[in-house]
Amino acid sequence: MYKNILPNTLKLKSQQKGGTIGSWITISHPAVAEIMAAAGFDWLVIDMEHSAIGISAAEHLIRVIQLSGLPALVRIGENDVTLIKRVMDAGASGIIVPMVNTAEQAVKAVASVKYPPKGIRGVGLARAQGYGTHFKEYQNWANTESVVIVQIEHIEAVNNIEKIINIDGVDGFIVGPYDLSASL
């Protein structure tokens, strides 16, 4: 899997173009991912927070998106070490983490994606690592090129935004206007 994303990472695209455009997938049918991947986007997000998409369906969608030449990000349902590890092992190019309200929560998200010594991610041999055949290359990729985006969705996050976005390994943020409005 790592060979599909190494030469064409989201970070590289952002640097070269000065910006990227992507879209979200909330329907788990592989044809939806295939159609979206052919629509000209730079990346796609599989939404596991506000959809019925589970880990197995997410893995299939990741595969379709990456075979189409695009990075596949996954918005997980919560800042959970095990869930993040499973999504990354399934081959995600990165994650979007909802409700990051503190710098400590941002650190946890980044650490969950990265392998030691940069993070705390456990070693498993799955699709992302070529089922073990390319672990070293994937480990290097995960620690340098994987994407971590946090969502600012609460007034507490707004009050901590500078600390959150300055955490090493946080690549970007998305404001969640509805949850933010609810917290206000």
Catalytic residues: 50
Tokens 């927070």 sit at which residue? 49
Rounded CA-CA distance 62/53 in Å is 12
| Packed helices 30-37 and 55-67: angle between N→C axes, nearest 10 degrees | 30
Number of H helices, E strands in the chain: 10, 6
Helix axis angle, 81-89 relative to 103-113, nearest 10°?
A: 40
> Which residues are 74's β-sheet partners?
46, 95
Q: What single DSSP character describes residue 96?
A: E
In angstroms, rounded to a whole number, what is the distance separating the alpha carbons of residues 175 and 165?
A: 12
Q: What is the rounded distance in angstroms from the CA atom of residue 29 to the CA atom of residue 106? A: 31
